[in-house]
Amino acid sequence: MGAKPKVISEALGHASVAFTMDTYSHIISGMQEDAMALLDEVLPSGVARSVRGASKL
């Protein structure tokens, strides 16, 4: 819905945003695809390809 992870983490009383994301990120469909689309916009094309290639190892 667009809420920031830090705000959600604090509202739930979690000690860290990392815990919140580790616990709930699997239920947010498309989150990885959205993140990769953002990286495609900000990284030079050679860097983005290198990052994607590294994940296949």
The structure tokens 């916009």 sit at 41
Count the neighbouring beta carbons within 10 Å of the beta carbon of residue 39: 13
- pLDDT score, position 21: 86
Separation of CA 49 from chain center: 18
Structurally, the chain folds into a number of domains equal to 1
Per-residue pLDDT of the chain (57 residues; tens, 9 = 90+): 678 889 999 999 999 999 998 888 777 767 778 888 888 888 877 665 555 555 555
- pLDDT score, position 17: 93
The predicted model scores a pTM of 0.47
Please report the DSSP string for 6-18 in residue order.
Answer: HHHHHHHT-S-HH
Range of the domain at 44: 5-54
- Identify the helix (H) or strand (E) that includes residue 31: helix 31-42
